[in-house]
Structures are given as structure tokens and as C-alpha cells.
Structure 1
């Protein structure tokens, strides 16, 4: 079960975000890279200033530049986390269904959850976060998708203030846009999201939070309070993401391990005999191919088999933390984006740091005012 921890409490950085992607280790996934997409047209609301008489508008400044890894298993080529040159940011966690027989809320939908992230990353830069929230929840944009929570918004400094624009948390397990929480609009806050509905402060007690969220928030608060230099901060953030409270027996079945995932920030690769065997077979095939698992994204979007038909497909091999990401955004709008791969595409472990890729860029329009949520 993935975890996202975000804070606005660091004195040097407007935003610090860290994320563990927990997934089947063999699920084919690209390395992070820049890619481009045509902006999606949207219907601007009357009187919003984003369009004329509610007509469909298209961004006129060319392709959108997006930084993310991409899921190679499903045709949507979605992602769990990404950011654009213009500052559109999104990160997703699955919602853990407790009733697997509820047809209205399927565990797996006909559409990829990763497509929800790219829907915001590919949105017309003129579209406000608030408009996107209404479009997704009230115009059917989240239908046919398994349960999820999506943190999304525009990374922007509020002109004349020491704050950034707030981010929304969309879930297709809430009823309407009025239930959407808004976070990160105030300094000094720490937020955590995993595989349950996010509840705003006051709606639930700290003791009722999952242990991984409670512990992660406490450790993140401690890390940013030290106001370390960038390298020391990044090291401490990865140490948080490596915090392992999982049982020492990693050969337990997935069904037995699922309830334990709420306790540990880091999930070591685990699974029963069948999944252990699948992992060994994948590693053996990789050894025969003499694959260099440290080569950067030669794996980007070139795959031998179509999505959903690949040998190392979804729900094969062991399950655990597959990727880790640390994102820093300073007060000048400079982004440091580091993603750490822990496994190669054949299921071989990658030593810590050997699978790191770091990108640095400045958000375009960092101090440009955007529409605030009502």
C-alpha cells in the first residue's frame, strides 16, 4: 500500500513531498523521463475567465512537458506521480476496498487509476484545480476506475504571501466536489495519505490514523525541523521511506500480508511459494538476457509485448515497495525530483542509490496567480 507524505513546514522549501510506490515488483514500469502530450481541451465555466461563454478551449502554447515514470502494463500508460514544467502536480494512492463484492465500487476498474494522474498532468494549463475537481467528480471523469485518492494542484507561490496555492484530494469514494479536502495552503503543516479516505483535521483523532501515516508524519516533521542542507535532507527523507516495520517472515501469502501493510512505511518484497517461484523465473530469464539493470530508461516506452499480455505482468512475483520519490520545491520555484528504483525489470534488487535519477528544473509561471478554491 503506497504512502504519500507532504509538508509545508521546511523554511527553505515551499513544499516537500515523498512517496513509496508499493506494487508487484515485476509490474513493468518505465524509469522517470520527460515526455510530451497534447493538452486536453476543456469546457470553461461561464464567467470564470477561462473561456468565452463556456466554449471548449485549447491551450495555444504547444505540447505540455511532463516528468514521470509510466506504467507499461496497461494501455493508458498512466503513472502514480508526476509534475509538469508548468507546475501541475499529482500523486495517487489506491483505495483499499473492504467489500470486494460491491459491484458499485470495484477493486479493479475498466480504466486505469494511473490515467487519473495523467488527466491532470495533460490538462490545459489554463484550467484551474477547482474546475478540474468538478469536471472529474461531477462530469463522470472518475467512472469505471477502481478506488483511488488523487492529490493534485498547481504548484504556485501566492503573490505577496509566504504560501503556495492549495492542493485538492479527489477520491471517487466521495459523493461530490464539496467533500474534497484542500491541503498545503498554509505553512507549517504535515499531511499523510495512504490507501484510505483522507479525513481533514478534526474529523478523526491522530490515534485512529494508520501507524505508517502517524509515524511517517512524525518523522517528516522531525526531518524538516533540522533545516539541513539539500543532500542531508534528501538522505533523511529516503531514510523515512525505508522505515520497515513489516514482519521478518517475507514468505507469507499476500492475503496474510495485506492487513499488515498499514503498519509499515516500507514494504519488503514478500509473497508465498507461487510468487517466490515467479520471481526466481523472472530473474533467471533476465540472467539469460544479460540485462544491465543499472542502465537508465532504455526501458522507457519500448516493450516487446502489448500491455496486459506481458510475461512479467500484473500480480506476478513478489509484492513490495518498487519505487521511492523525493520532491523538493524551493521558494524560487526550483524543483529537485529524485526517483529511486529498487528493482530492475527482471526482479533483481538494485543497491540503494544505484537506481537513482534526479531532475532539476524551474516551474514556469511560479509566481503567476491562479484561481483559488471557493
Structure 2
């Protein structure tokens, strides 16, 4: 994923609502979200090149069981630090979904090995807690951050870094949450291709033209862009929703 906005523990009976766009090179082979044959509890898209995923959920085991798990990842844009031999970040998501560790326990397990990966933001939900972890965070946040109730946004920098598309999409998302808006409204939000004013573009080490292209929530270019828009809702008392619109 390259843009995720989410509401945690703000709505009754719906502790988590997530909307996000996955941006990727069009040539990278991908499977749309579905139940995985090798792990029937997992519902997620699949990166057919490296085998991991960018966002997924698990089903509840049965009536009265704890809420299903949730995980998602975004890359941190830092081209000068990128290592071509680094392991796939998508495996951090799929490995969590395949297991049964708590979010905090999984962070503790992967923390020491996290510097081997290129930069990432990882969101992990276990039914009780939602944890943000990044291998580029500083201070106490290097150990993962359990999130209090609120509305959050993350793109290709650390959590809630005020990039224009994060600020704009969080505000619209908050309005939709308050309105109890229908599903189509979230997908309309995610399809916004308005680019940020040049004076508000971040400087992440790519060209100015690329910064402009990447500044919109929905990205379109000849070789790279938004390939899927997703809406996930985790409920207290019924199976989760995972709605996906595949673009290409």
C-alpha cells in the first residue's frame, strides 16, 4: 500500500475501518484479494513475484471467537537507502496473518531483524490492539506504538507525516466516518487524482516531476500507478468486510 487512512475504535461495533490504495509498477504480477489456498483463514491480495501481500485479514475461527487479524504495510520512500538485495517487505504481512501471535509479540519477534528490510510502516491488528511499527522510527517508537483511538494516515513516510495527500485524505475520511457514508463514497475518495501544489511537495529524493506525480491519492502514469483501492471494516460481532476495486 502507498496510502492508508484508518479509524481505530471510534465507531460502535466497528473497531477498525481502513481505506487504502496500492501503488505499484504495472508489470509486477499480482493476484486480486481472495482466500488463500495454502492458508484458508487469510483473505488478501498476493504479490506473485515475491509471495507476500500488502494488506490482509483473517477470518474468525467461529462464533464467539476473537476478532480476526489485520495487517498492512507501506514502503518508505528513500531511494538513496534502497537495497536491491533486501528481503520482501510483503512477507512481514503474510507471516503475521499466518500466525497467531499478538501484534506486540510479533513486533518483538521481528524488531531485531527489521533493519535488513528497506524502509516500511507496518500496521498490525489482533482484535484487541492496533500497533504501528516502522524500521525507520526513532526513540521509543522503534519498539512499536500501540495506537489510541483516533483517525490516522500513512503514506511513504512515517505515520501521520503531514504530506498533502495524507492530510487531505484523512480529513475527507473523517467526514465520511462521521456521516456513516456508503461504500461508494470511500472509493470516490480514493480515486482523487488531484496533485498537490508544487510549494507543498515533500522532498524525498526523487525528481520534482516524480514528487508531483506521487502527490495525489490516486496515481496514474504509463508504467506505475494505483492498481487497487481497498476498504476494510472489522466488526465486533460479525465477519469483516474486505472490498477491493482492482484498477489494473
Question: What is residue 89 of structure 1 aligned with on the other side?
Answer: 70
* Partners of 2:21 and 2:218 within 8 A in 1: yes
1:215–1:66 Cα change, 3 Å:
same
* Partners of 2:122 and 2:133 within 8 A in 1: yes
Q: Does 1:216 align with 2:188?
A: no
Q: 1:170 aligns with which of 130, 133, 142?
A: 133
How far 1:332 moved relative to its partner?
1.1
* Partners of 1:210 and 1:262 within 8 A in 2: no
How far 1:146 moved relative to its partner?
1.3
Mapping 1:1-374, distance limit 5 Å: 2-8=2-8, 9-11=10-12, 13-37=14-38, 65-74=41-50, 77-86=51-60, 87-97=68-78, 100=80, 105-123=81-99, 125=100, 127-138=101-112, 140=113, 142-154=114-126, 156=127, 165-174=128-137, 178-179=141-142, 180-183=144-147, 185-186=148-149, 189-198=150-159, 209-228=162-181, 233-246=182-195, 255-261=207-213, 263-268=215-220, 270-271=221-222, 318-343=223-248
**SS, match of residue 130 in structure 1:** helix
**SS, match of residue 218 in structure 2:** coil
* Partners of 1:151 and 1:168 within 8 A in 2: yes
Instruction: Please say which structure displays the higher CA radius of gyration.
Output: 1
1:91-121 CA-to-partner distances (Å, cap 9, x unmatched) read 00000116x1xxxx43544311111111211
TM-score (norm 2): 0.83
**SS, match of residue 110 in structure 2:** helix
**SS, match of residue 30 in structure 1:** strand
1:209-267 CA-to-partner distances (Å, cap 9, x unmatched) read 10111011110111111124xxxx211100110111138xxxxxx84443125531111
* Partners of 2:3 and 2:154 within 8 A in 1: yes
TM-score (norm 1): 0.57
**SS, match of residue 92 in structure 1:** strand
What is the number of equivalent residue pairs in this alignment? 230
1:113-153 CA-to-partner distances (Å, cap 9, x unmatched) read 11111121122x2x222111111113x2x243211111012
How far 1:84 moved relative to its partner?
1.3
Give structure 1 regions of 4+ aligned residues with deviation exceeding 4 angstroms. Answer: 175-178
1:257–1:21 Cα change, 3 Å:
farther
Structure with the larger helix share: 2
1:150-185 CA-to-partner distances (Å, cap 9, x unmatched) read 10121x2xxxxxxxx2211111113677532222x4
In structure 1, what is the Cα distance between the partners aligned to 2:116 and 2:52? 15
1:306-340 CA-to-partner distances (Å, cap 9, x unmatched) read xxxxxxxxxxxx11101111111233143111111
